[in-house]
Amino acid sequence: MSARQDRGWIAIAGLGPGDEAMVTPEVTAALDAASDVIGYIPYVARVAPREGLVLHPSDNRVELDRAAAALELAAQGRRVVVVSSGDPGVFAMAAAVFEALEAGPAHWRDLDIRVLPGITAMLAASARAGAPLGHDFCAINLSDNLKPWSLIEKRVRLAAEADFAMAFYNPRSKARPEGFERVLDLLRAACGDQRPILFARAVATPEEQLRIVPLGQARADMADMRTMVIVGSSLTRVIERAAGPILYTPRSASGPAS
Report the relative pairing of strands 227-231 and 209-214 from DSSP bridges.
Answer: unpaired
Whole-angstrom distance, CA of residue 125 vs CA of residue 241 = 19
Average pLDDT of span 32-41: 97
Query: Given CA atoms 69, 75, 81, 84 in this order, what sign does their dihedral have?
Result: positive
Residues of the chain with CATH 3.40.1010.10: 9-119
Q: Considering the domain 122-248 in this protein, what is its CATH number?
A: 3.30.950.10
Could you give the percent of the chain with pLDDT greater than 70? Answer: 97
- Residue 27 pLDDT class (50, 70, 90 cuts): very high
Tell whether the model's pLDDT for residue 130 goes beyond 50: yes
**What does DSSP assign to residue 195?**
S
37 sits in which H/E element: strand 36-40
Whole-angstrom distance, CA of residue 201 vs CA of residue 204 = 9
Assign a CATH topology to domain 9-119: Cobalt-precorrin-4 Transmethylase; domain 1 (3.40.1010)
Average pLDDT of span 97-112: 97
- Residue 173 pLDDT class (50, 70, 90 cuts): confident
Phi first, then psi, for residue 86 (nearest 5°) are: 55, -130
Tell whether the model's pLDDT for residue 145 goes beyond 90: no
- Residue 3 pLDDT class (50, 70, 90 cuts): very low
What is the tens place of the pLDDT at every residue in 117-126?
A: 999 999 999 9
Tell whether the model's pLDDT for residue 76 goes beyond 80: yes
Phi first, then psi, for residue 32 (nearest 5°) are: -65, -30
Q: Can you state the angle between helices 93-103 and 63-75, rounded to 10 degrees?
A: 70
Q: What is the number of helices (H) and of strands (E) in the chain?
A: 7, 13
228 sits in which H/E element: strand 227-231
Average pLDDT of span 154-167: 97
Whole-angstrom distance, CA of residue 7 vs CA of residue 19 = 32
Mean pLDDT of the chain: 93
- Residue 254 pLDDT class (50, 70, 90 cuts): confident
- Residue 253 pLDDT class (50, 70, 90 cuts): confident
Specify the pLDDT at position 2.
Answer: 44
Tell whether the model's pLDDT for residue 249 goes beyond 70: yes
Specify the pLDDT at position 258.
Answer: 61
Between 156 and 179, whose confidence is greater? 156
Residues of the chain with CATH 3.30.950.10: 122-248
- Residue 81 pLDDT class (50, 70, 90 cuts): very high
